[in-house]
Structure 1
Amino acid sequence: MNIRRMQENDEEMVIKLLDQLGYPDARNAVSRKMKILLQDPDEYLVVAETSDGEVVAFISIHIIPQIALEGDFARISYFSVDEKHRSSGIGKVMEEYCEKIAIERNCDRIELHCNSSREKAHQFYYRQGYTESSKYLMKKL
């Protein structure tokens, strides 16, 4: 398994993985957003590929500076492993990569939002040491 920074030519596989994650209409945004995020030093778009170069997972990590705290936050915003490769250890490797980046960037926590319907994802995160935190609020615009 090879972990590497995402490249623009990974777009089609990222769209497929987002569809599996429950975002079937992501195609319109992906190309434009990838270009922006790939240029931002606080954003990490990372893929996992097999030995033959097939992309089978991706994770989007954001480093968020905190004004009142010493450590910053790393936030996982999207994380998907191809359904044919789930429960093979790829997710664990990707999450460990995220933790490495977070430590290197002086983060004191990793946070994420995971929809209440994603029970298998919750089980994965609990196994990785995540705990539930305070209420998550949002306002749709």
Structure 2
Amino acid sequence: MIELRDALAADADAIAQLLDVLGYPGTAPFIRTRIAQLLAHPDARLVVAADGARVVGVISLHFLPQLALAGDFCRISYLCVDESARGGGIGAMLEARAAALARARGCDRIELHCHARRTDAHRFYERQGYSESPRYYAKSMTDA
């Protein structure tokens, strides 16, 4: 039985493994600090999907006020389900939790960035009702 719950500091190793699967290796040295920051931040939520004691999914959310519109918006910054648990509806459960939290916060939309190479993820998000918004710009602050 899958349970969705707020992440705990004790979930750090499992979250680091999920981030590695997502293509972000090397988070283990700082993941505990990041989890603590997110758990303490009033405009962030970190939710895990647990199958008993095993964390099999994670979603990281940020709620951002909009200057020109009345509602805030929710940004999904990371969503990952363990490869062995994919296809069982866990991603949809995590996305539905994000939508419920966004509604409760008065958000008018959810946004996310999904790299062009993640074609399976594109299909997942389209099934959840997302549409492509083709312009996204990024500036690296490490390539000064």
TM-score by length of 1: 0.97
- The residue aligned with 1:116 is 116
SS at match of 1:110: strand
Gaps of 5+ in 1: none
SS at match of 1:41: coil
Letter in 1 for 2:128: Q
SS at match of 1:124: helix
**Aligned counterparts of 2:53 and 2:126: Cα–Cα separation in 1:** 30
Letter in 2 for 1:131: S
**Aligned counterparts of 2:42 and 2:139: Cα–Cα separation in 1:** 27
**Aligned counterparts of 2:72 and 2:44: Cα–Cα separation in 1:** 13
Indicate yes or no: 2:22 matched with 1:21. yes
State the Cα distance separating 1:137 from its structure 2 match.
0.4
**Aligned counterparts of 1:25 and 1:73: Cα–Cα separation in 2:** 30
Indicate yes or no: 2:35 matched with 1:34. yes
- The residue aligned with 1:131 is 131
What's the RMSD between the two structures over aligned residues? 0.8
Q: Percent identity, aligned pairs only?
A: 46
**Aligned counterparts of 2:78 and 2:27: Cα–Cα separation in 1:** 12
Indicate yes or no: 2:44 matched with 1:43. yes
SS at match of 1:28: coil
Worse-superposed segment, 28-37 or 90-99? 28-37
The alignment of Structure 1 onto Structure 2 pairs a total of residues equal to 140
State the Cα distance separating 1:109 from its structure 2 match.
0.3
Letter in 2 for 1:114: C
State the Cα distance separating 1:138 from its structure 2 match.
1.0
Query: In the TM superposition, what whole-angstrom CA distance separates every residue of 1:43-74 from its partner, at most 9, and x where no partner exists?
Result: 00000111x22110000000001111011110
SS at match of 2:29: helix
State the Cα distance separating 1:34 from its structure 2 match.
1.1
SS at match of 1:27: coil
Gaps of 5+ in 2: none
- The residue aligned with 2:68 is 68
State the Cα distance separating 1:134 from its structure 2 match.
4.2
**Aligned counterparts of 1:99 and 1:117: Cα–Cα separation in 2:** 25
**Aligned counterparts of 2:30 and 2:65: Cα–Cα separation in 1:** 25
SS at match of 1:58: strand
Worse-superposed segment, 33-42 or 120-129? 33-42
SS at match of 2:116: coil
